[in-house]
Amino acid sequence: MTSRRQEGWEASGVITLQGIELYNGKAILYSMGDFIDDYAVDSDERNDLSFLFLLELERGHIARIVLHPVRIEDLYVRLAKDEEVTFLQKTMQAKCAAFGSRILFHDGVGRFEVS
């Protein structure tokens, strides 16, 4: 799926947050949630919660992905609040662990090291 030149891959389809996998040193983001549509909120899946994903580059390559927790409310993207941040952290850690990946959180912000 990824080539030597390709830095990462984002696969979408579901509107709920999925994990991040490292494959041959490249990041695969399987779903980054949804910023556009304001669907009815599923209380289990929490499709109103996601992250703002920022790619940090070093020497032209993705070195890490920084995740800022957000929520959709009244058609706007806003910073997630306390219990929402906790839900997002636990969910992302579990979903990354399923791929054998690790993400660390500090003060609600996630850091996924690529290289």
Predicted confidence (pLDDT) per residue in 13-23, tens digit: 566 788 999 88
pTM of model > 0.75: yes
* 1 occurs within a structural domain: no
* 39 occurs within a structural domain: no
Question: How does pLDDT run across 21-72, given as a tens digit for each residue?
Answer: 988 888 888 877 777 666 788 888 888 899 999 999 999 888 999 999 999 8
Residue that is written with structure tokens 């499709």 in the block = 47
Q: What φ, ψ does residue 96 adopt, rounded to 5°?
A: -70, -40
* 3 occurs within a structural domain: no
Nearest to 114 by CA among 31, 7, 41: 7
**What is the pLDDT, as a whole number, of residue 69?**
97
Residue 61 CB partners (closer than 8 Å, separation 6+): 7, 114, 115
Q: What φ, ψ does residue 113 adopt, rounded to 5°?
A: -80, 125
Number of domains in the chain: 1
**What is the pLDDT, as a whole number, of residue 92?**
95
Domain, as residue range, for 108 = 8-34+47-113
Q: DSSP label at 94?
A: H
* 20 occurs within a structural domain: yes
